[in-house]
Amino acid sequence: MSGASSKTLERVIAALRGALGDEAVRTGQAIPEQAMTDWTGHAPMRPAALLLPCSTDEVARSLAICNEAGQPVVPQGGMTGLAGGAIARADDIALSLARFAGIDEIDPASATMIVRAGTTLQAAQDAASAAGFELGLDLGARGSCQIGGNLATNAGGNRVIQSGTARDQVLGLEVVLASGAVLSSMTKMTKNNTGYDLKQLFIGSEGTLGIITRAVLRLNPPRGRRHTALVAVDGYDAVVKLLRSLSARFGNDIGAFEIMWPDFFDFGVALTAHARSPFPAAHPLYALIEHAGLDTLDEGEAFFAVLAEALDAGLVRDAVLAQSVADARALWAVRECTAEFPARMDPVNFDVSLPIGLIGEFVDVCRAALDKRWPSNRSYFFGHIGDSNLHVTVDGHSIPGVAHDDVYAFVYEMLAPYGGSVSAEHGIGLLKRAYLPFSRSPEELAAMRAIKAALDPKGILNPGKVI
């Protein structure tokens, strides 16, 4: 047993049934498979119970009962996480907010939305769009992931270069602490310098400090016109110059700046419908760039003109401009081949961040080191370079017998001299806990432990995750 004894567990579950009703407390076969694992592919594990509270008050009562008994609780969202943060053990109680979903309010004057944590990202986006706004957050798992999970992981995604991470979308937050106390900071104001910004503690804390129940999110003006280009670039220095010249001209109208190294690009191209590169020759690097202007302006001509100037200046070697939505989708399909990774290989995934100017050098160093250590390895590099985020995937099938942990340690060790981080966006969860000290100093870890102990003294919230 990791937490309460089995007798205590039975008593806790009975108390929870009394407080929430049978419908909100599932055990045994009544627990759906979705609650047993996430997208990491971790072996499925049935928790002792699954709680499905329908209100902040029910979450508060659940946690008060569990805290009293020292019973571990694992918050669960849409289970699309890539770090194992939502995986519950056999004697944990999982708590999902799937039944606490919906939009409580859209305030056009403040340009804010109050959203319940169990709402899927897609539903929140649709509600924003129906009200004439756009949400600053978007990612591939939008149909399944929940706002609570997005905030708990400080998700990044497709619009970070334009709107920042999940953290930047939040003005107010409601959280239930381990004790059952409700910490409500549901402000709509941009400016609020009244002591510590408590909400930021919980965003990115992966369910270890409190359960997020509602949030006040910023709404942005819609960006209707998207112009997409795939360009072949001479090398990493040219990539950085191109990024800076686009930013100087268009600011945050640049909606995506995705760099693919040839191994990744060739793999992605082979999986698309045409199965061949749109370029007649091979190139050192490829950039998928999107200009996403405001609905009222169409700067497509200006965007393409800047790319033409870069071509003349030799920064860009070749370019393909999407002429239609279908063209743009075809270009994005190459970059989104990552969805196929689990089916086509045994992916050992890295989601690291480094200063933008050093990413090119790191890729060269990392690739050379991998080739020296495991000559048969197949590795794929791409990154949201505008967000200083690099993804590396090593195919475990290409290095049979090598444990994933050995590959993790090998790559993470190379990050330290670059001041890099072991997680840019997916979080630490279960998978990267051992590697947190690669990115955080002993003093930082001690401060994190002190905060955890202050907010969750019995350690019931998501034990074994993050720290």
Ligand X SMILES: Cc1cc2nc3c(=O)[nH]c(=O)nc-3n(C[C@H](O)[C@H](O)[C@H](O)COP(=O)(O)OP(=O)(O)OC[C@H]3O[C@@H](n4cnc5c(N)ncnc54)[C@H](O)[C@@H]3O)c2cc1C
Residues forming the site for ligand X (CB under 6 A): 38-39, 74-82, 85-86, 97, 117, 139-141, 145-146, 148-150, 152-153, 155-157, 206-207, 211-212, 339, 425-426, 429, 462, 465
Considering beta carbons, is residue 317 or 335 the nearer one to ligand X? 335
**Least Å from the CB of residue 7 to ligand X:** 26
Nearest approach in angstroms of CB 404 to ligand X is: 18
Least Cα distance to 214 among 126, 262, 281, 151 occurs for: 151
- Which residue, 101, 115, 88, 99, is CA-closest to 34? 88
CB-nearer residue toward ligand X: 383 or 396: 383
Which CB sits closer to ligand X, 47 or 157? Answer: 157
Closest-by-Cβ residue to ligand X is 149
Q: Which is nearer to ligand X, 303 or 381 (CB)?
A: 381
What minimum distance in Å lies between the beta carbon of 250 and ligand X?
A: 22
CB 158, min distance to ligand X, A: 6
Min separation Cβ 347 and ligand X, Å: 12
Residue 65 or 86 having the CB closest to ligand X? 86
What is the token pair recorded at 231? 């360009």
* Distance of alpha carbon 391 from alpha carbon 350, whole angstroms: 5
DSSP bridge partners of 211: 176
**DSSP symbols for 167-221:** GGGEEEEEEE-TTS-EEEE----S---SS--THHHHTTSTTSS-EEEEEEEE-B-
We find the least distance from the C-beta atom of residue 271 to ligand X, in angstroms, to be: 15
Q: Is the Cβ of residue 137 or residue 269 nearer to ligand X in the bound state?
A: 137
Q: Which residues pair with 115 in a beta bridge?
A: 103, 215
DSSP string, 287-310: EEEEEEE-TT---HHHHHHHHHHH
Closest CA to 298 of 230, 366, 225: 225
Closest distance between ligand X and the C-beta of residue 114, in Å? 15
Burial pattern 232-258, b for ≥16 Cβ within 10 A else e, equals bbbebebbbebbebbeebbeebbbbbb
Q: Which is nearer to ligand X, 370 or 436 (CB)?
A: 436
397 and 346 Cβ atoms separated by less than 8 Å? yes
